[in-house]
Amino acid sequence: MSHNFNGKVAVVTGGSDGIGLALAQLLARQGARVAICARRPDRLEAARAAIAQHGTVEAHQLDVADDKAFAALVADVAARHGRLDMMVNNAMAVHYASIEQLSLDDWRGDFAVNADAVFVGTKAAMAVMMPQGHGSIVNISSTCGIRATPMMASYSASKAALIQFSAVAAMEGARHGVRVNVVVPGQVQTPATEAYNAQAPDAAAATTDAIPMGRGGQPDELAEAIAFLLSDAASYITGVALPVDGGKAAQLYMPG
C-alpha cells in the first residue's frame, strides 16, 4: 500500500534489521525522513546504507535501555527537523528460561527494553506531538504478550505491559491529535528467527506448522501493517492492538 509520508519525520528503534529495517526502508521510500537507532555499529551502518538507497535516513548508535540518551535522541531529532510525526518503538530484548532459572536481572533486562524504553520513547514523542497537534505512535508487542508461552516469562510479561501502557497513552493523546497503537507480531522471519531455525530445525518446523497460515510472516508484511497505522489512512484508529500473526492469536488449540 502506498502512503504519502513526504516531509514527515519518523524515529524507529531497533532499525538495523528485521521489522525495524523493513519499516525504515518503506517509510523512506514513501517520502519520510527516518531516524533509526540500534546498538551494534556494524549492523547500523549497513542498515543506514540500505535505507539511504530509498530516501533520507540518519542512524544513531544507542541502547534504548539508556533512558536519558534515548529521550534526548527523540527530542534532538524533533528539534532539528522542527517536527516529529511518527514514533515506532520496535527494539526488543528476550531471555528464554523457566521461571525457576530466570534471574531477576534477566527479568529486569527484558522490562528495561520492552516496557521501560517504550514508556520513555512514547513520553518523549508525546511531548513533541501533543503541542504540535498531531502524531502517530506504534509500539511493537508480540503474541507472547497476549498468549502464555512457557520459558518466556519476562518477555511475555513485558510485552503484555507494553499493550496496556499503549492503551492508556492512546486515551491521553486522543484529544491532542496523537494516536497510539500496537502491532502484535507472531513468528516473523527475521535474522534472529532464521538463526534459531538453523539450530533447531525440527522445533522450527513444528512451530511454523502450528500457525494457521502454515508459515511465518515476512518483515515486509509487518512493515506494511505498521505503516498503515502510522498513516492518515488510519486517522480514526487509536488504542488498538493489531495481531499480524497468520491467525495464531485467534487459534483455539485442540490436541490431535
Asked if 14 and 20 touch (Cβ cutoff 8 Å), the reply is: yes
What average pLDDT does range 45-53 have in this prediction? 97
pLDDT for res 254: 73
Contact (Cβ atoms closer than 8 angstroms) between residue 4 and residue 30: yes
Torsion angle in degrees (nearest 10) through CA of 133, 30, 91, 197: 150
Query: In the prediction, which pLDDT does 191 show?
Result: 82
Residue ranges covered by each domain of the chain:
9-186+221-241
Residues forming the active site: 155
Least confident of 8-17, 74-83, 196-205, 232-241: 196-205
Reference 7, options 148, 92, 142, 134; nearest CA is 134
What pLDDT score does 26 carry?
98
55 is written with which cell numbers?
Answer: 530516501
The reported pLDDT for the residue numbered 196 is 75
To the question of pTM greater than 0.85 for the whole model, the response is yes
User: What's the CATH fold of domain 9-186+221-241?
Assistant: Rossmann fold (3.40.50)
HEC assignment per residue over the chain = CCCCCCCCEEEEECCCCHHHHHHHHHHHHCCCEEEEEECCHHHHHHHHHHHHCCCEEEEEECCCCCHHHHHHHHHHHHHHHCCCCEEEECCCCCCCECCCCCCHHHHHHHHHHHHHHHHHHHHHHHHHHHHHCCEEEEEECCHHHCCCCCCEHHHHHHHHHHHHHHHHHHHHHHHHCEEEEEEEECCECCHHHHHHHHHCHHHHHHHHHCCCCCCCECHHHHHHHHHHHHCHHHCCCCCCEEEECCCHHHCCCCCC
User: 195 and 174 in contact (C-beta within 8 Å)?
Assistant: no
User: Residue 237: what residue type?
Assistant: I
- Identity at 74, one-letter amino acid code: V
The amino acid that residue 79 corresponds to is A
Per-residue pLDDT, 226: 98
At 190, the amino acid letter reads T
DSSP character for 217?
B
Exposure letters 5-39 (e unless 16+ CB within 10 A, then b) = beebbbbbbbbbbbbbbbbbbbbbbbebbbbbbbb
Given a cut of 80, whether residue 256 has pLDDT beyond it is: no
Q: Find the range with the poorest average confidence among 82-91, 156-165, 189-198.
A: 189-198
- What digits encode the pLDDT tens for the residues 105-145? 999 999 999 999 999 999 999 999 999 999 999 999 999 99
In the chain, pLDDT over 70 holds for what percent of residues? Answer: 100
